[in-house]
Amino acid sequence: MPSSSQLHIQISAQDRPGILAETLAFIVQTGWNVVDIKQFVFNGLLNLSILLDGCDESHILPLREKLSAYAEQMGFKVNVYPWKTATRPDAPYAHRSVVTLLCDSIPSSGFQEITRIFAELDINILRIEQLDSGDVHALEFVIGTRKAHSSEEVLDALVKFKEHYGVDIAVQEETYFRRNKRLIVLDADMTFLQCEVIDELGKLAGVGDKIAAITSQAMNGEMDFKSALLKRVQLLKGLPVEKLQELSNSLPLTPGAESLVNILKHLGYKIALVSGGFQFFIDKIRSDYGLDYGVANQLQIENGKVSGELEGQIIDAEAKEKTLVALAEKGGFSLRQVVAVGDGANDIKMLARAGLGIAFNAKPIVQRQARASINQSNLKLILYFLGISGEELQELDEVVRGGKNQPWPED
């Protein structure tokens, strides 16, 4: 047989054990070699494709006759046809990405719309997998392109879809790093925590409205973060340290934060809080939840009161980015193995450097630049962007709740 000719077998059947083994028996009897096998089961229906070579065209008819008789006897469909490799373009959709959608539900019109967007961009859908269909619908589209579309280009094309259907989206390159993350770096205020700590301190100091207004400007990118921070800290002058301690014991965690931490620790992640807030509070959170790293600004305390000044380096956007890089280097991780999560303008550079940067309930300026976003108040949803399915998530929950990081059960 010329090396350019191969044979493709395609079988559709109600799934049961033994169909592949029985088919391979006919292939062996007629002298063909297996080049490739693809098989999946959906809703009890088997879809099986086998690519063969090693024989000339005279061997096609005997195999076709045997398989046709077998299929008729067993009540399923089989197609056997020559596959000319010379007429096929080499890897026409060689560049692969994964688009993950999170939503309460998505109508048929939503599926139609997203597939139309892909088609208009000459993007081929290689695989669709439903990660979860419970309270959250999580779908993964593995897509292929002829050209190396960047994640940003694909995400830009999905912006209107995202807004119209109220879905959260992540776009990532399909590489071995996607499910091999090792470090997560989270912002604290309005990300890991459900408050801006400095605003809460402002309330305790009687200057809540003034500080909240400056915070809003800084997080929306309307004011330089360093200047905004120094102005707010000056307004806290004279606040007793006892008030800081009181607040540190009542900081509200974002839903899903503790569960996310426990699961990622079980999976071997290093976990860091890198905050434009204050070390006083980050140290308490780090200790309470067993985090690996915590980096923030240092409030100066004099005579048991806030002096209105800071000590040491200011943790602004550039410092957050540098800290993320340094923590990855310390752990021996590629930046592609890093997840970063944040909501404010001072998180943009950090999100851009990470392999997966997630804008979490973020300001518009952040969402426009991030390759992934979540607009629901549940940090646990991050796990779907890491490729974890609902079934796996349930198993992980059971393990970390019941076992103090007990080992995985034996297969």
Question: Are residues 141 and 262 located together in one domain of the fold?
Answer: no
Question: Are residues 272 and 385 located together in one domain of the fold?
Answer: yes
Residue 393 lies in a domain: yes
Domain boundary among 87, 108, 129: 87
- Tokens in use for 105? 């539900």
Q: Please give the single-letter amino acid code of residue 314.
A: I
The domain of 283 spans 183-198+236-401
Radius of gyration of the chain (CA): 27
Residue appearing with tokens 């695989």: 127
> Domain tally for the chain?
3
Question: Is the C-alpha dihedral spanning 53, 16, 79, 91 positive or negative?
Answer: negative
Question: Are residues 101 and 66 located together in one domain of the fold?
Answer: no
Residue 273 pLDDT greater than 50, yes or no: yes
Question: Are residues 189 and 333 located together in one domain of the fold?
Answer: yes
Residue 33 lies in a domain: yes
Domain boundary among 30, 61, 87: 87
Residue 146 lies in a domain: yes
Tens of pLDDT, residue by residue over 41-71, are 988 999 999 999 988 888 889 999 999 999 9
Q: Please give the single-letter amino acid code of residue 43.
A: N
Question: Are residues 396 and 282 located together in one domain of the fold?
Answer: yes
For 116, the 3-state DSSP assignment is helix
Strand 372-374 versus strand 356-360 pairing type: parallel
Residue 272 lies in a domain: yes
The residues facing 102 across adjacent strands are: 138, 168
Residue 302's closest CA among 290, 293, 294, 311?
Answer: 311
Strand 270-278 versus strand 293-302 pairing type: parallel
- Note the pTM of the prediction, 2 decimals: 0.86
> 132, 168, 187, 199: which is the annotated catalytic residue?
187
Residue 165: band (very low, low, confident or very high) from pLDDT cuts 50, 70, 90: very high
- Taking residue 56's Cβ as centre, other Cβ atoms within 10 Å add up to 10
Backbone angles phi, psi at 174, to 5 degrees: -85, 90
Tens of pLDDT, residue by residue over 102-127, are 999 888 999 999 999 999 988 999 99
CATH number of the domain that residue 379 is part of: 3.40.50.1000
Residue appearing with tokens 């340094």: 326
Q: Is 189 a residue of the active site?
A: yes
Type and span of the H or E element at 325: helix 317-331
> 132, 189, 316, 343: which is the annotated catalytic residue?
189
Residue 410 lies in a domain: no
Residue 85: band (very low, low, confident or very high) from pLDDT cuts 50, 70, 90: low
Whether the CB-CB separation of 375 and 237 falls below 8 Å is answered with no
Residue 409 pLDDT greater than 70, yes or no: no
- The burial of 87, by beta-carbon neighbours within 10 Å (0-12 exposed, 13-18 middle, 19 or more buried), is given as exposed
Backbone conformation region of residue 406, classed left if phi is above 0, alpha if psi is from -120 to 50, else beta: beta
Question: Are residues 102 and 79 located together in one domain of the fold?
Answer: no
* Residue 18, CA distances (Å) to 13, 22, 122 in order: 12, 6, 38
Question: Are residues 146 and 283 located together in one domain of the fold?
Answer: no
Q: What is the pLDDT of residue 149?
A: 65
Question: Are residues 187 and 323 located together in one domain of the fold?
Answer: yes
Question: Are residues 312 and 241 located together in one domain of the fold?
Answer: yes
CATH number of the domain that residue 17 is part of: 3.30.70.260
